Structure 1
Amino acid sequence: MAYDDLPVIDTVAALEEYGVPQPAVRDKVRDHLHDLDRQWISHSPFVVLATSSPDGRCDASPKGDSPGFVKVLDDRTVVVPERAGNKRFDGYHNVLTNPHVGLLFLIPGRGDTLRVNGRARLVSDGPFFDDLVVKGHRPVMALLLEVEEVFYHCAKAFMRSQLWEPESWDPTVMPRHAVIAKELVRQDSPLAELDKYYDVERYKAGLYPTS
């Protein structure tokens, strides 16, 4: 490859030449949830689940629902319900062979985020499943996470990206998803058919299947 001769940072010492965290930053990691963490999770409608397979293949899957859809069972356990999706289960395949996962909790408008890392397993039922029902939909499974690390991440990435500033938004910079799908994976499907398939209202109707 054309990039094989680039200078590589491949040791801790080389990396630390660019700086080391202040003690307050270095030591901010906790091993259990504080009441403030519980509050944050109860107000978060969106979380990213990060996983990897034993051979290093990574996945970052978005999970979203009404604020508080991720439930805190105790100060060392949280549960993420699985809602109706495309059934690829990329992250869950990773969990089956490597239980170490990371969760990134967002609150719209906030630049800081809450990070929770730990060991996960997939469960198909439990006494808390009744608390996961939304609009009649009971999840068929959930990700149960044993908390090992908890800490807050600063707002600089969101400030630089202006992610929450509406004047920076322009969804028209890319073609609609039907056009992307036809170009990349569904070349034989008529565009009009794909527009119907990816119609927002059709998607909304299938968010919470009850059977």
Structure 2
Amino acid sequence: MTGMTEISSAAELRELIGEPSAHAAHKTRDRLHELDRQWLARSPFCLMATSDAQGRCDVSPKGDPAGFTHVLDDTTLVIPDRPGNKRLDGMLNILSNPHIGLNYLLPGRGDTLRINGRARLLRDAPFFDALVVKGNRPRLALLVEVEEVFYHCSKAFLRSDLWKPETWEPDALPARARIVKGLEAKDVPLETLEEHYGPQYAERLYG
């Protein structure tokens, strides 16, 4: 492609953007504060970033009832795994590269809680009994050793109007069943997919 000017060094990047404020540069912590614990107790959703040994990245959404992340102590978290598509992209990444990034959201809030650390996969532990939701005891959980904690400000959410219902247009794009029909399951009748992703889909989340 022509007409592009690429940045190829940290010095060039800093020359263009500048230095962070002292507040931004030094806001990271290496353990949870009581305010972080309160945030985790109220958050029903996070984005989990991992990468494999070659640096190829993956970001997966994780959601459960608020407080789904179990805090063992100020430097250790546990995230239960729930039934899914069994691709295990993030889990497989962790086996070759334990570094993990988590960004916790609170519906309606623009700021987010970011936690970076190292993760391990557990198939059982005494605290698994505390992770049961609707009868589902996880077969797998992530143990995260916290290395960095800090909050992101609200700018991205304010710019995007993410939490303003008047900007939402869920029907502007094809429904999930039609997307699956077009891309993933072309041989499956649309009616079958619509039934699968219909009202009963939510009843099978922990099955």
Q: TM-score range by the shorter chain?
A: over 0.9
Secondary structure in 2 aligned to 1:94? Answer: helix
- Corresponding position of 1:206: 204
Q: Could you tell me how far apart the structure 1 residues matched to 2:170 and 2:206 are?
A: 26
Provide the aligned length of Structure 1 versus Structure 2: 206
1:115-138, Cα deviation, whole Å (9 max, x unpaired): 000000110111111110111110
Letter of the structure 1 residue corresponding to residue 36 of structure 2: D
Secondary structure in 1 aligned to 2:157? Answer: helix
Structure 1 residue 205, shift from structure 2 partner: 1.9
Letter of the structure 2 residue corresponding to residue 198 of structure 1: Y
- Corresponding position of 1:156: 155
1:89-140, Cα deviation, whole Å (9 max, x unpaired): 1111100100000000000010000000000011011111111011111000
Secondary structure in 1 aligned to 2:71? Answer: strand
Letter of the structure 2 residue corresponding to residue 144 of structure 1: L
Structure 1 residue 182, shift from structure 2 partner: 1.2
Secondary structure in 2 aligned to 1:25? Answer: helix
Matches within 5 A, 1:47-66: 47-66=46-65
- Corresponding position of 2:13: 15
Secondary structure in 2 aligned to 1:109? Answer: coil
Q: TM-score, normalised by structure 2?
A: 0.97
1:38 aligns with 2:37: yes
Matches within 5 A, 1:58-77: 58-77=57-76
Structure 1 residue 196, shift from structure 2 partner: 1.2
Secondary structure in 1 aligned to 2:179? Answer: helix
Q: How many percent of aligned residue pairs carry the same amino acid?
A: 57
CA contact (8 A) 1:84 1:206 kept: no
1:29 aligns with 2:28: yes
Structure 1, unmatched stretches of 5+, are none
- Corresponding position of 1:141: 140
The counterpart of 2:4, out of the listed 3, 6, 12, is 6
Letter of the structure 2 residue corresponding to residue 88 of structure 1: R
Q: TM-score, normalised by structure 1?
A: 0.95
Runs ≥4 residues deviating over 4 A: none
Q: Could you tell me how far apart the structure 2 residues matched to 1:94 and 1:202 are?
A: 32
